[in-house]
Amino acid sequence: MARMMFREAISQALREEMYRDERVFIMGEEVGRWGGTYAVTRGFLDEFGEKRVRDTPIAEGVIVGAAAGAAIAGLRPVAEIMTINFAFLAMDQIVNHVAKLHYMFNGQITCPIVIRTVGGGGRQLGASHSQSPDVVFAHFPGLKVVAPGTPADAKGLLKAAIRDDDPILFIEHATLYQVRGEVPDDEDYLVPIGVSDVKREGRDVTIVSYSKMLQVSLEAAERLAQEGIEAEVIDLRTLRPLDTRPIIESVQKTNRVVVVEEGWRTYGVGAEIASRVMELAFDHLDAPVRRVAQAEVPLPYNRRLEQMALPQVDDVIRAMKDVLYL
Domains detected in the chain:
2-183 (3.40.50.970), 197-323 (3.40.50.920)
140-168 tens-digit pLDDT = 999 999 999 999 999 999 999 999 999 99
Torsion of CA 199, 204, 209, 211, to 10 degrees: -40
pTM of the model: 0.96
167-193 tens-digit pLDDT = 999 999 999 999 999 999 999 999 999
Which residue in 218, 90, 210, 216 sits closest to 149, CA to CA? 210
pLDDT of residue 171: 98
pLDDT of residue 70: 97
Q: Taking residues 117-135, report their average pLDDT.
A: 95
CB 53 within 8 A of CB 44: yes
Residues assigned a catalytic role: 60, 129
Check pLDDT > 90 for residue 246: yes
Check pLDDT > 90 for residue 37: no
| b/e map 226-252, b = 16+ CB within 10 Å | eeebebbbbbbbbbbebbbebbbebbe
Question: Whole-number mean pLDDT of the chain?
Answer: 97
Check pLDDT > 90 for residue 18: yes
Q: Taking residues 194-216, report their average pLDDT.
A: 98
pLDDT category of residue 1 using cuts at 50, 70 and 90: confident
Check pLDDT > 90 for residue 272: yes
Phi-psi region of 159 (alpha: psi -120 to 50; beta: other; left: phi over 0): alpha
88-113 tens-digit pLDDT = 999 999 999 999 999 999 999 999 99
Q: Taking residues 269-293, report their average pLDDT.
A: 97
Which CB contacts under 8 angstroms, 24+ apart, belong to 322-325?
Answer: 322/287, 322/290, 323/205, 323/256, 323/257, 323/258, 323/287, 323/288, 323/290, 324/204, 324/205, 324/229, 324/256, 324/287, 325/287
pLDDT of residue 276: 97
**Residue 313 φ then ψ, to 5°:** -55, -45
DSSP 206-244: EEEE-THHHHHHHHHHHHHHTTT--EEEEE--EEES---
Please give the share of the chain, as a percent, with pLDDT higher than 70. Answer: 100
Cis before 241? omega within 30: yes
